[in-house]
């Protein structure tokens, strides 16, 4: 089968499409004929050897895919050959076939295409951990999402709205503001001054100013880090929850714990992968929920571009260059596989 097998780490341009043996399923695994592959920033780090986990080459990278089950291993009875599925694996998705552990395979309902499923699974599962598992967002609460036009940000906006929250999206440009408004956000705030003082003033005046009671917001889901995190704490009201998702700014911030104590605030991390090991039932419940929302049209994948299999590494480079808008999904021709 065709696949991108890494024999050594390097920039995306150093990796080419080649031929490798088709995987054989073992007990507890599902063999999927891949129809679409979702690209993520961690994938771009992985192929360079810059991700926090570094498998020893040779290996096939890639975490998100969707397709059709072609075989199952012993002990697998919840999916069968012919089922449409989406999978989130640690590695192996950049290939025509992937052998995925059953716990990382989810049935894809009618109404969710392979492109949508592959483009959504990591960002929506991450957003689910942030919005539901960690923040426990409830109807009527006020929720701010920073980096709201990004993959996880756009998913968090939609899931918070589905939970009945009033949602504010923080973005950096007018074009991104229009993208977020199309997701049904209640309020959009555009950053004009990204300095520490500028962002603190933004939360103090433009965010808190959205409500006459001045009580602040219940939850901030932060994908940006840096000064945005520090400023976001100032936007929280009594018993507010700051959910740390990522550091798109490249700056990992620190919180002054006296401020947390004085204002009765909580700061919580929202890592995705560890939940597969520690809280798999919640992940499966969440994935089924947002897939059902997508199938009914209440949520949508943020897929802006599709590229053919032989342009996959170009797609990863665009993520590194920050020229990609929305999600990029790789499509495969399955007619000959």
CATH number of the domain at 136-269, please?
3.40.50.720
pLDDT digits (tens, 9 = 90+) for 324-336: 777 899 999 887 6
Segment 118-146 shows an average pLDDT of 97
CB 218 within 8 A of CB 265: no
| Closest listed residue to residue 105, CA positions, set 139, 140, 71, 132 | 71
Domains of the chain: which residue ranges? Answer: 2-121+289-331, 136-269
- Cβ–Cβ < 8 Å for 332, 35: yes
pLDDT tens digits along 165-174: 999 999 999 9
Contact in structure between 169 and 153 (CB atoms under 8 Å): yes
Q: Is 312 exposed, middle or buried (0-12, 13-18, 19+ CB in 10 A)?
A: buried
Report pLDDT for 337. 67
- Of 138-147, 254-263, 290-299, least confident by mean pLDDT is 254-263
At residue 80 the predicted structure's pLDDT band, cuts being 50, 70 and 90, is very high
Read off the pLDDT of residues 304-315 as tens digits, 9 standing for 90 and up: 899 999 999 999
Q: What percent of the chain has pLDDT over 90?
A: 86
Per-residue pLDDT band for 322 (boundaries 50, 70, 90) equals: confident
Question: Under CATH, to which class is 2-121+289-331 assigned?
Answer: alpha beta
- Give the pLDDT confidence score for residue 302 in this predicted structure: 85
What mean pLDDT is reported for the chain? 94
Over residues 103-122, the mean pLDDT reads 96
User: Poorest-confidence range of 199-208, 283-292, 318-327?
Assistant: 318-327
Rounded-to-10 torsion of CA 285, 291, 297, 300: 120
User: Is 53 a residue whose pLDDT tops 90?
Assistant: no
pLDDT at res. 336: 66
Angle at CA of residue 287, ends 106 and 189, nearest 5° = 140
Written as one string, the DSSP assignment of 28-43 is: TEEEEEEEEEE--HHH
């Amino acid at each position: 089968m065709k696949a991108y097998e890494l024999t050594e780490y390097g920039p995306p341009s150093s990796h080419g499409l080649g031929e490798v043996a088709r995987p054989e399923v073992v007990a507890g695994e599902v063999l999927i004929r891949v129809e679409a592959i979702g690209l993520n920033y961690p994938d771009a780090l992985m192929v360079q050897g810059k991700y926090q986990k570094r498998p020893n080459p040779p290996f096939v990278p890639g975490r998100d895919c969707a397709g059709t089950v072609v075989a199952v291993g012993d002990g697998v009875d919840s999916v069968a050959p012919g089922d449409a599925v989406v999978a989130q694996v640690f590695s192996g998705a950049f290939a025509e076939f992937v052998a995925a552990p059953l716990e990382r395979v989810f049935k894809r309902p009618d109404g969710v295409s392979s492109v949508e499923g592959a483009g959504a699974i990591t960002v929506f599962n991450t957003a689910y951990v942030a919005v539901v598992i960690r923040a426990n967002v409830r109807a009527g609460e006020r929720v701010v999402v920073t980096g709201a036009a990004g993959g996880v940000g756009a998913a968090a906006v939609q899931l918070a709205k589905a939970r009945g929250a009033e949602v504010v999206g923080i973005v950096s440009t007018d074009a991104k503001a229009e993208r977020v408004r199309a997701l049904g956000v209640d309020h959009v705030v555009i950053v004009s001054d990204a300095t520490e003082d500028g962002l603190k003033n933004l939360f103090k005046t433009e965010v808190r100013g959205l409500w006459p009671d001045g009580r602040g917001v219940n939850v901030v889901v932060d994908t940006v880090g840096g000064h945005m995190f520090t400023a976001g704490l100032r936007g929280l009201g009594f018993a507010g929850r700051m959910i740390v998702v990522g550091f798109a700014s490249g700056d990992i911030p620190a919180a002054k714990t006296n401020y947390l104590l004085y204002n009765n605030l909580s700061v919580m991390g929202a890592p995705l992968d560890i939940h597969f090991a520690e809280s798999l039932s919640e992940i499966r419940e969440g994935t089924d929920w947002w897939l059902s929302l997508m199938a009914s049209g209440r949520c949508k994948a943020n897929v802006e571009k599709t590229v053919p299999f032989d342009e996959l590494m170009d797609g990863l480079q665009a993520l590194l260059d920050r020229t990609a808008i929305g999600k990029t999904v790789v499509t495969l021709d399955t007619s000959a596989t």
